[in-house]
Chains A and B, each alone.
Chain A
Amino acid sequence: MRKKQTGAASGISFETDRSRWTAPLRDLLHHNKIAVVSAVIILLLVLAACLAPVLTPYGETQMDLMNRLSPPSAKHWLGTDEGGRDILTRMLYGSRISLMVGIVPSLLSLVLGTALGMLAGFRGGKTDAVIMRAADIMLAFPSILLAMVIMYTLGGDLPAVFLTLTLVNWAEVARITRAETLRLKENEYVEAARVIGVSRMRIMLRHILPNCLPTLIVLFTLNVPAAIMTESSLSFLGLGIQPPYASWGRMINIGRQYLYTAPWLCFAPGAAIMVCVLAFHFLGDGLRDALDPHLKKR
């Protein structure tokens, strides 16, 4: 806490300090156990997604009609679905889709939102007005409805899902990056760079962007669970990822008709979504406290 205050008070020294990354991260490691545990859980999830074929003896679509809807057992840890497929196996493969759907669009919207936000904040005037009004329009849609309409227009394959979630999320990023840029623009070192004739592009990339990074990292960590939630909602409504892929949301959508006879079909992937979302959430929270005291909870 003390460290942050001195940093914020002296302004420049904090933002040019080399220990800007190492010190807060060490802080995080020592004081925020939940964030560390979350990071470990995320790593394990990613590992499990990569190693899915090694971890399970069953195939993703391997049917076993003698064992339909069987409850959790030693053979099938989380039971089987309506086609006798192993739920745990489907969840492991599903984690690939769900993680990808969380990470790829969040990265894309981060790039798009940062570029537009920096441009708006740095150029001001008409550029600013146009970009920010576009962001306003996007933010006026309830995100699930916007996603539904875009999915309707684009169809249901994986790139369409990526594009949809990118379009849903960029506006928030742009807004925050713009505010950061406006704040950073006033610093003496930007002024100095401008005076000695450094080009705008270079100022943005070398002086503004690096100082936005902590905020952006936090934003990314918090956007991943939001994207996973939105995709699972879309899939639940039958609009997200289409077969043969199975995201967690899709599994719940299919399992819903067996809610009362075989509840594990819904609750196992539901729990997976929850754990994953919580892990990213806590990690984002911890990173925010450590890296970026300015960014308040959205």
Chain B
Amino acid sequence: MLNTFVRRLGQAVIVLLAVALLLFVMLRIIPGNPVTTMMGEHADSATIERMTREMGLDQPILTQFFQYLLGAVRGDFGTSYSLKKPVAELMGAALGNTVKLAVFASLFAWVTGILCGVLAAVRKNSIPDRLFMGFSLLGVSMPVFVTAMVLQYVFGYLLRWLPISGAESWTSFILPAIALGWNSAGSIARLVRSTLLGVLEEDYIDTARAKGRTPLGVLTRHALRNAMLPVITMMAIQFSGLLSGAVITETVFSINGIGQLTVRAISGRDIPLMQGTVLFAVTIVILGNLAADSLYSVLDPRIRKGG
């Protein structure tokens, strides 16, 4: 089992390196010297040349890439062109809000997703079932920014219950967390419902019922335990998705996090910042997938044995 994990970890590192290289090349094939972008149109050519040399931009692209990697290992991701600060420092400052948002959104998604999924499965084809599944579909089919703006309009503007933007207090995170987590809540609810419906047909459920367990006991001790397996894997993948995919939510709610930093980097043509933020997101996704894979083999004895 440890072997499998090490192999997967190795694969993950290779994919990450490949992504980093691809990103590095993609951001550099656009014509135009970043120094000119940084210094403005009217900088004199001697300064531009000196800066280009200082930043190592005159080196071949692969050399630049390896220098970048060496720096990255030591926690140095270069200096942002537009904000004139180290990328690591900028990302460190933004990370807190992104993590908070992802945690709140996940909590919302897990609690509502599992509750709705279980209720829907137990009362299959009832009105609550249809209602929950309708809500989950809505979550899947509405773009995050539309959901976000509807929430802002209704709860922030019409009812004035919650703040519309910013990250000052924990109440500011409620609307963004719902907007961001709705989609996940929907897919979790659907998955819980379908796996639970499958499990409820198993023989051991009948056995448990025949032994005289209460319906709630059967549900929690026998059915849910077995139905949660794919759900937990999905939750691991989704958490990393939420952590890396808050670009739009952070923009709509003006939350100063990694996602907003990414948007700022792109609109400011700020290559080091773009590189740092995108690599951060990719790392999180790869780690999330790795965690999901490993969780699955830890939790499911059948896979554990098979290796």
Are the C-beta atoms of A140 and B145 separated by less than 8 Å? no
Expressed in whole angstroms, the Cα–Cα distance for A238 and B266 within the complex equals 10
- Judged by DSSP, the binding face of A is helix
Q: Which residues of B are found within 8 Å of A153, using beta-carbon distances? A: 26-27, 29-30
A259-B149, A270-B146 known; A140 and B16 CB under 8 Å? yes
* Distance (whole angstroms) from the CB of A211 to the closest CB of chain B: 27
Complex CA distance for A225 and B141, rounded to whole angstroms: 8
Contact with A along B218-256 (1 / 0, CB 8 A): 000000000000000000000001001101100100000
Stretch of B56-64, B150-158, B174-182, B294-302 at the chain-chain interface: B150-158
Closest CB-CB distance, B253 to chain A, in whole Å? 12
Q: Are A260 and B18 closer than 8 Å at their CB atoms?
A: no
Residues of chain B at interface, number, CB under 8 A: 42
B103 at the interface (CB under 8 A from A): no
B72 on the interface (CB 8 Å rule)?
Answer: no
Complex contact A260–B153 (CB within 8 A): yes
| A250 → B minimal CB distance (Å) | 12
With A136-B15, A229-B143, A273-B143 known as contacts, the answer to whether A142 contacts B26 (CB < 8 A) is no
Q: Output the least CB separation between A135 and chain B (Å).
A: 11
In this complex, what residue of A is CB-closest to B29? A153
Write out, one digit per residue, whether chain B residues 124-167 have a CB within 8 A of any chain A CB (1) or not (0): 00000000000001101111111001101100010000000000
- Contact, CB under 8 Å: B247 / A137: no
Tell me which residues from 247 to 284 in chain A have a Cβ below 8 Å from any Cβ of chain B.
249, 252, 256, 259-260, 263, 266-267, 270, 273-274, 277-278, 281
- Compute how far the CA of A254 lies from the CA of B19 in the bound complex, rounded to whole angstroms: 33
By beta carbon, the residue of chain B nearest A155 is B30
Stretch at the interface among B78-86, B89-97, B111-119, B279-287: B279-287
By secondary structure, the B interface counts as: helix
Q: In the complex the two chains form, is B146's CB within 8 Å of A274's CB? A: yes
B19 with A281: CB separation less than 8 A: no
Complex CA gap A282/B274 in Å reads: 37
Q: Which residues of A contact B281 (CB under 8 A)?
A: 141-142, 145
B23 at the A/B interface (Cβ < 8 Å)? Answer: yes
Contact residue among B140, B145, B269 (Cβ-Cβ distance under 8 Å from A281): B140
Q: Is the CB of A237 within 8 A of B263?
A: yes
Query: CA–CA, A153 to B144, complex, Å?
Result: 25
Question: Residue of A at shortest CB range from B277?
Answer: A145
Q: Is the CB of A270 within 8 A of B30?
A: no
Central interface residue in B27, B140, B262, B266, by most chain A CB within 10 Å? B266
| Distance to closest chain B CB from A141 (angstroms) | 6
B190 to chain A, nearest CB (A): 8
> B45: CB under 8 A from chain A?
no
Q: Which residues of B contact A150 (CB under 8 A)?
A: 26
By a CB distance below 8 angstroms, the chain B residues around A252 are: 145-146, 149
**Candidates A145, A260, A270; contact of B244 at CB < 8 Å:** A145
Interface residue? A184 (CB, 8 A): no
The reply to whether A144 and B15 contact each other, CB–CB distance below 8 Å, is: no
* Cα–Cα, bound, A236→B30 (Å): 23
A274 to B269, CA, bound (A): 32
Enumerate B168-199 residues with CB–CB distance to A below 8 Å.
190
Which residues in A have their C-beta under 8 angstroms from that of B267? 238
Asked if A149 CB lies within 8 Å of chain B CBs, one says yes
Q: Does A189 belong to the interface (CB within 8 Å)?
A: no
Q: In the complex, A229→B143 CA distance in Å?
A: 6
A232 within 8 A of B: yes
Q: Any chain B CB within 8 A of the CB of A233?
A: yes
Instruction: Note all chain B residues with C-beta closer than 8 A to A278.
Output: 137, 141
Q: Rank and list the top 6 A-B pairs by shortest CB-CB distance, nearest first.
A: A270-B146, A277-B141, A278-B141, A142-B244, A236-B145, A142-B245
- 18 example contacts (A-B, Cβ-Cβ < 8 A) are as follows A140-B16, A140-B19, A140-B285, A141-B19, A144-B247, A145-B244, A145-B247, A145-B278, A148-B266, A232-B143, A232-B145, A236-B248, A237-B247, A260-B157, A266-B146, A270-B146, A270-B150, A281-B140
Instruction: Kindly list 18 other residue pairs between chains A and B, CB separation below 8 angstroms, not including A149-B23, A152-B274, A266-B149.
Output: A133-B18, A137-B22, A141-B285, A142-B241, A142-B282, A145-B245, A145-B247, A149-B278, A152-B27, A153-B27, A232-B145, A237-B263, A239-B266, A259-B152, A260-B157, A263-B153, A267-B146, A270-B143
